[in-house]
Amino acid sequence: MSLSWQLRNAGDRLVGAPEGRVDETTWEAFSGHLIAAVRDAAQAGLPLIVDLSRLEYMSSRGLRALTIGRREAGEAVKITLAAPNARMREILAISRYDKLFTIADSVGS
C-alpha cells in the first residue's frame, strides 16, 4: 500500500492530508512530508492541521515520525491532528499522543 500527501493553504492554516498507510515502507516519506509542512507553516506563521481522515493505519514508525515533526515544530508551529478514524484515535490514545497533540474531530474544528 502506498502513501500520498497533499498540502493546501486553507487561509488561516496549512492542511496536510496523508492518504493510505504509514508503516515500515512509507514512514520515511510521511516524515519528510510532515517536516516540510512544518517548515512551510513556520515560514508562513500558520498552524498546521494534519488531516488523518484518509489515513487507514499508522505503525509505531509513523508515531515516531509525528514525534520528529513535533520536535521540528517546537514552539513555532501548533500541530493539530484532525479527523482520525476510530482505529487511529485508539492508537493515538494508547500511545498518549493525545497529550502531545491537539486531536480535533474535523479539519474545520
Is 100 among the domain residues? yes
Is 60 among the domain residues? yes
In the block, cell 515533526 appears at 69
In sequence order, which residues have a C-beta less than 8 Å from that of residue 2 and are 6 or more positions away? 20, 26
Q: CA dist 99 to 64, 83, 85, 96, Å? A: 15, 16, 18, 6
**Among the listed residues 22, 34, 91, the one whose alpha carbon sits nearest the alpha carbon of residue 61:** 22
The domain of 50 spans: 3-104
Q: How far is the C-alpha of 8 from the C-alpha of 16, rounded, in Å?
A: 7
Is 94 among the domain residues? yes
Is 69 among the domain residues? yes
Number of domains in the chain: 1
Per-residue pLDDT tens over the stretch 46-97: 999 999 999 988 999 999 999 999 999 999 999 999 999 998 999 999 999 9
Is 74 among the domain residues? yes
- Report whether 81 contacts 48 (CB < 8 A): no
- Examine the pLDDT at 101 and tell me if it is beyond 80: yes
Is 8 among the domain residues? yes
Is 109 among the domain residues? no
Is 11 among the domain residues? yes
Return the C-alpha cell found at 39: 517548515
Per-residue pLDDT tens over the stretch 9-41: 999 999 999 999 999 999 999 999 999 999 999
Return the C-alpha cell found at 69: 515533526
The domain that contains 39 carries what CATH number?
A: 3.30.750.24
Beta-strand pair 3-9/55-58: unpaired
